[in-house]
A and B are shown apart, each in its own frame.
Chain A
């Protein structure tokens, strides 16, 4: 098969898959949009000094458990790091 022809079969195959997985795809996109908003807000909230989960939740107007979920996720992927302790809580900061 020529390179060009291969490419065009691949495109039609992807089209077919997109059709088949329509609902999953739109669900995943919605999810991603919501997540990106939270991640952006979280990064903004962390742009200054390191902060604890309750402090971040206060700034972002969100529940503490959701904020912790995002902080620990971004920590796992190397975007957030743990900072100093403040009372019973740890502070978090951006790594880059």
Chain B
């Protein structure tokens, strides 16, 4: 076995989403050496997986890819993807140590040229979570076309070990016997930017427990809307019909004590409005309805964005959806109490229904790092008002949705602030 490596950097950033990348770029530009660690096989986090972004409607990939590649090509930044963080804590004022495992991709990153011949040659198809589970990838695959690094990973659990990928690889990069490797990173300061995931589709029996046809999550809808999505257009997943009628169920996982998510996830109103606008562009004849409790258009230009959506003909119905069941002809039937108009219990069928699920933390530091979290599970700031990125551990900061739900604008601002705190901390050591 190879000797365990210990690598030294000025700063370590956990999470290579837009928060982590921004902190790394800001620190790297100041001349500090930075390690960015991600558990995923690619950097970019949620943002690279979105279609377009509110309120500017910029193409997400067009504005995220340059940040990802600046980080990848930065002389002071080193990326560590597909790694598991087993431990991170401060040992002395100038030493934070992270214990990590480089998981096996079964592909030699030094040799691979990213040609994807292995992927095309592989005979096994596997449902692709990166495409919302709507189509399939191969057992050896590059996660998506603008993933960084462009190195495939082999999914051993679905590999028949047929040897085709090794045969077609022009650089002899396939390593069927690769093993995970432990290593550690020692730095002076750390930024925790571990982001979020969506609450589960299966948590609410009233909404069909992920068993209804044509009821999808908001993240799946981002894929359906993305130019490189599973169908390259918006279709109903049950049978490929172009939907005539589409509905959003707001607060489908948030502001609900019974689900343990009493807080507002903040971005759902805005992303639902964004998706509705994109849909009305893609399917001009479709009826689009947003069932909401109240619309929270919290940022600069956001109220105008909401008003524009109304002017475009998107219907806003103030109602809490009580139940979703399967309707006629593969539709989803919503039962709701109308809080305006005539009131009372109503029912309506739609071709496609999107659940605006809640935002929950992706990482639970329990047993890995002594950083403090709030009751909601997000990393806690000890000075939430005047220094929101400061945690209970000296010289360890947090940024982005790891610290609580927020949009990209606020995430980037906070990531810059975390980098500034980290840089000041390092100066204070000198």
Binding site for B on A (CB under 8 A): 13-14, 17-18, 21, 24-25, 27-29, 31-32, 35-36, 52-54, 57, 64-65, 68-73, 75-77, 82, 85, 88-90
Contacts and interface: CB of A to CB of B under 8 A. Distances in A.
Given A29-B160, A32-B160, A88-B244, A69 B124 contact: no
Contacts of B408: none
B186 interface: no
A61 B235 CA distance: 21
Contact of B135 (A36, A72, A88): A72
B213 A65 contact: yes
A89 B242 contact: yes
Given A17-B161, A17-B177, A24-B158, A73 B237 contact: no
Given A53-B240, A68-B239, A89-B240, A25 B120 contact: no
Chain B: interface secondary structure?
loop
Contacts of A64: 238-240
A28 B159 contact: yes
5 smallest beta-carbon distances between A and B, as pairs: A64-B239, A53-B240, A28-B160, A72-B135, A73-B136
Interface string B211-244: 0010000000000000000111101011111101
Interface residues of B, number: 31
Contact of A24 (B120, B136, B156, B238): B156
B155 to A, nearest CB: 9
B302 interface: no
28 contacts: A21-B156, A21-B161, A24-B156, A24-B157, A24-B158, A25-B161, A28-B159, A28-B161, A29-B160, A31-B124, A54-B240, A65-B238, A68-B237, A68-B238, A68-B239, A69-B127, A69-B134, A69-B135, A71-B240, A72-B231, A73-B136, A75-B231, A77-B120, A85-B242, A88-B244, A89-B239, A89-B240, A89-B242
A53 B127 CA distance: 19
Contacts of A72: 134-135, 230-231
B176 interface: yes
Nearest to B239: A64
B139 interface: yes
A53 B238 CA distance: 10
A65 B237 contact: yes
B298 interface: no
A25 B124 contact: no
A54 B241 CA distance: 9
A29 B235 CA distance: 31
A27 B158 contact: yes
A25 B160 contact: yes
B240 A24 contact: no
Contact of A69 (B136, B163, B232, B242): B136
Contacts of A76: 135-136, 230
Given A21-B161, A82-B232, 4 more contacts: A25-B161, A28-B139, A68-B238, A73-B125
Contacts of A89: 239-242
A38 B244 CA distance: 30
A35 B139 CA distance: 13
